[in-house]
Structure 1
């Protein structure tokens, strides 16, 4: 229980006035005062759902399916399991993401009807307007099966690092990171994207079960201010969307001002160019949270989750985008020549046994070698990117120094022909603590892919009788590991 949760009277009055009559205020308050159930999402870039279920059974984890996400589960663990979920071997290897169940719904809504089961949607360009910390970005990337390009934008500079770390841990390679106010995309990249997710910054009324302090600075005036920003963001997203494309607008708040009213503002502004697509069939039971417009408005007592709002919007016609003046510096990368590309690819295969993906191209900057998703190329020179794809290697006089992030992203393929070494549990813990490994086997030479339980942990290098630890320093953990 969260006995100290404070719900402002004006907030409760607002909920009372707008909540459907079949829902109870008493149950609403009680739900707000209950801690959230822990939930996770399986990262299918790394492991199948069935294989993960087997892992969970070995740990005696109880998984209950989240009805609106076929890779999402509520998880219960034994009381005597003292290792934090984020410090388990499976989490550190990127096999799952700790994600609140409600926040899995926007991506499911974006994908609805856009692809066949088990197949990636036919999208080349997707935008996540407010991406940090990366839960929906990595969910989208997994659904896209690392195809196309996913532009993940984050306005807060302090959250970019965490976003990149989560993208890297989950083996995502089709992401380009940007750091802008989301209101720029309509002018800078008009009608560029097949699909857009706008999980808008909001007053956070639905998060109180996770954060008892969420409502400390809440006021009706602040709600109105936030709604103005949300209108500007959804307007920009509309212009950045191709005609025929789909936009999902979502928030983790409950008031109509930031939710239904923002969507209606867009419809009133652009008329028949905008339609709302009903989410009534998104999952069994969705009708319990359905609004008259076909939006989903999740009060916390309905599914015992965070409060959330999700709307699916289709764009039918062009509109004149904002006029902008672009001042971009020189793009610091150049495409690798065919000869260089063949040499790099062949050396990568020879030294580690890994292949480069077909839908990617090699780009060079000074002594760095980068792997860009091919779908990014129409956007190059149109907007500044903080980071594109993955850094594959650094060149030196004896060849290439392969990078940890490339191994994590590209070793989702079969490792049968790769140069690997399997660690024991004790060695795996030492690896994550930044220590070198001393295997009990005949020493070899060169780089080696380090694994534990068949999962890739990173890249090491044989130095005499030991394997030098190549884990980036910011990923080193010091205690309470698996």
Structure 2
């Protein structure tokens, strides 16, 4: 195997890597593949459209030389004129990091935006992301579905759950629920099921060579064969939870047909109520990509076409192209993206629908009880089960009276949320969470019913955005909630002059009369409005004997740069 250091070592390895053999077996030009797939990706990102600072942020990106990704329809995405992670050290690098850390942009590889662009989820829908962490696709969907649609972002691994929660808070998203299940065994929600499913499944990453150079050394053809069953099982669970008429997108960052077309073929065999449907090309207008394959050949471990496919490691006939004509007709409706097509990474995406005529009961297949008639004939009756016992991590629904106290103390105008409490924090979410999940009974597989007033059997860790925190009976809005609450804050907020804000950013603790004049100042947490030429700002502060700021390091630093107090590093 080649040396891993330097461009020469990478190029030499690409010449002999099994990954190049895979590309050639798919009909790609060897030289064009190596030339592009060994180069670093350009920096790409999504602009946070619901942030109050969207206009100012766009100006900063354009000043960096950003150009729009024209095929990213329905949201603003940009490509920057430098490689991923290689922003110039003239202030651009720090500013870009601050824009991401404060939720004004989200750095994301362009190709990984495709599943949500293709699925195109809508407000008022309930979407399940089966393998959500670190959250780029879940947050992308949530932004497009706001304010009324909800994303149930599922992740089995505890450490990655924390990444999900962090990204939800960074982007001030109130329409994300976070659950923790194995993707093959995600719990039910009440009937009729989910409106949309994202199955961006674990894969070998064979299309990620531009950001993960180790793939040139680590990838082998048997890798996809070892992932196949997991991918089928996760996608199958999504199909079982999808209501009739609902859409599911299946995707990987792999170009191996065993992880892509072969999985889709097996999924249709296992879940015949699902159909592969045509992707609306207008949703990615201008993108260059290719039809899915209906023919491919197994490779040996050297990346060469095997003259005895049944002898390759972990062989299974399901890894071969299908024989069924309906599957051969369906697979070209899926789409493949190669690195040299649009200067991106590689990707695979398929769009499927639960046929309504396949399930006249009008509910997800997981609810179809094959033994229901036999039970009825025996005199069996469905039981309402007891709700699981609560613990300190349990999320509880809050009362209207509790919400009214927060609305008054935090100077909010009329809000249209469902309210959820855990400990000293209060979260807000769309009403859809209450109406379609919390307030409905959920049948189990035996036909008994989990009661309303609980999320069970979903293992819910977080509901919505923890927007408020209580101390000594006083509620304050947390900094991460300000972009969400911006348009709902009272006009009665105290106005702070730019000079006073600059003094606070310079670590001064101001006498209250500097800001409040002769008015009696409030005590404790407060929100202040600053009318700055670059845009109106909402500032978190604290008023005791002196007034100080309550901003995290990134927000404070970005404000200091914006107001000209400090230069970028």
Q: What corresponds to 1:256 in structure 2?
A: 257
1:381 to 444, 453, 456: 456
Rounded Cα–Cα distance in structure 2 between residues aligned with 1:56 and 1:415: 31
2:420 corresponds, among 356, 363, 387, to: 363
Match of 1:442 in 2: 514
Alignment of 1:81-100 (within 5 A): 81-84=90-93, 87-100=96-109
SS class of match (2:272): helix
Mapped to 2, the partners of 1:474 and 1:177 lie a distance apart of 25
Q: Does 1:392 align with 2:401?
A: no
Q: Which runs of 5+ in 1 are unaligned?
A: 115-120
Supply the distance in 2 between the matched residues of 1:423 and 1:163 (Cα, whole angstroms).
35
Q: Please name the residue that 1:407 is paired with.
A: 482
> C-alpha separation between the residues in 2 aligned to 1:406 and 1:463?
23
**Offset at residue 86 of structure 1 (A):** 6.3
Contact 2:236 2:271 in 1 (8 A): no
231 and 148 in structure 1: CA distance in 2 versus 1, 3 angstrom threshold: same
TM-score, length-normalised on structure 2? 0.71
How far residue 457 of structure 1 moved from its aligned partner, in angstroms, is 7.4
Select which of 24, 42, 57 maps to 2:47.
42
Which residue number corresponds to residue 168 of structure 2? 167
User: Is residue 393 of structure 2 the alignment partner of residue 338 of structure 1?
Assistant: no
Contact 1:206 1:308 in 2 (8 A): yes
In structure 1, C-alpha distance between the alignment counterparts of 2:457 and 2:508, rounded to whole Å? 46
Pick closer, same or farther for the CA change 1:339–1:60 going to 2, 3 Å: closer
- Residue 366 (structure 2) aligns with: 321
Task: Determine helix, strand or coil for the equivalent of 2:156.
Answer: coil
CA contact (8 A) 1:123 1:194 kept: no
Judging changes above 3 Å, is the alpha-carbon distance between structure 1 residues 458 and 260 closer, same or farther for their aligned structure 2 residues? farther
In structure 2, relative to structure 1, the CA distance for the partners of 1:164 and 1:145 (3 Å cut) is same
| Aligned-pair Cα RMSD in Å | 3.6
Deviation at 1:88, TM superposition (A): 4.8
Q: Quote how far apart the aligned CAs of 1:197 are.
A: 1.1
Q: Give distance in 2, aligned partners of 1:66 and 1:252.
A: 21
* Cα pair distance change 1:2/1:326, threshold 3 Å: farther
Equivalent pair of 2:130/2:154 in contact (CA under 8 Å): yes
Tell me the TM-score normalized by structure 1: 0.83
Deviation per CA, 1:7-44: give whole Å up to 9, x if none: 4643322221223xxx4221011111111111111111
Task: Report SS of the residue matched to 1:205.
Answer: coil
Structure 1 match to 2:147: 146
Is the Cα–Cα contact under 8 Å of residues 130 and 182 in structure 1 kept in the other structure?
yes
Seen in structure 2, the aligned counterparts of structure 1 residues 376 and 82 have a Cα distance that, compared at 3 Å, is same
Structure 2 counterpart of 1:117: none
2:368 is the alignment partner of 1:310: no
Q: Please give the alpha-carbon distance, in whole angstroms, between the structure 1 residues aligned to 2:537 and 2:278.
A: 41
Q: What's the offset of the Cα at 1:406? A: 2.8
Match of 2:26 in 1: 18
The aligned residue for residue 65 of structure 1 is: 69
Shift of 1:144: 0.9
Pairing 1:115-194 to 2, within 5 Å after superposition: 121-185=122-186, 192-194=193-195
User: Larger Rg: 1 or 2?
Assistant: 2
Deviation at 1:284, TM superposition (A): 3.2
With over 3 angstroms needed to count, the CA separation of the structure-2 counterparts of 1:363 and 1:39, relative to structure 1, is closer
How do residues 193-272 of structure 1 correspond to structure 2 at under 5 angstroms? 193-272=194-273
Query: What's the CA shift string for 1:59-89, capped at 9, x where partnerless?
Result: 3433242423441111126856244256554
What do the CA deviations read for 1:341-372 (whole angstroms, capped 9, x no partner)? 323222222xxxx33631x1223445443323
Paired with 1:275 and 1:186, the residues of 2 have a C-alpha distance of 25
Alpha-carbon shift at residue 214 of structure 1 (Å) = 2.9
CA 424–129 in structure 1, closer or farther in 2 if over 3 Å, else same: farther
Q: Is residue 356–residue 410 contact of structure 1 (8 Å, CA) maintained in 2?
A: no
Moved more, 66-75 or 361-370: 361-370
Change (3 A) 1:436 1:228: farther
Greater Cα shift, 279-288 or 236-245: 279-288
Q: Distance in 2 between matches of 1:180 and 1:301?
A: 37
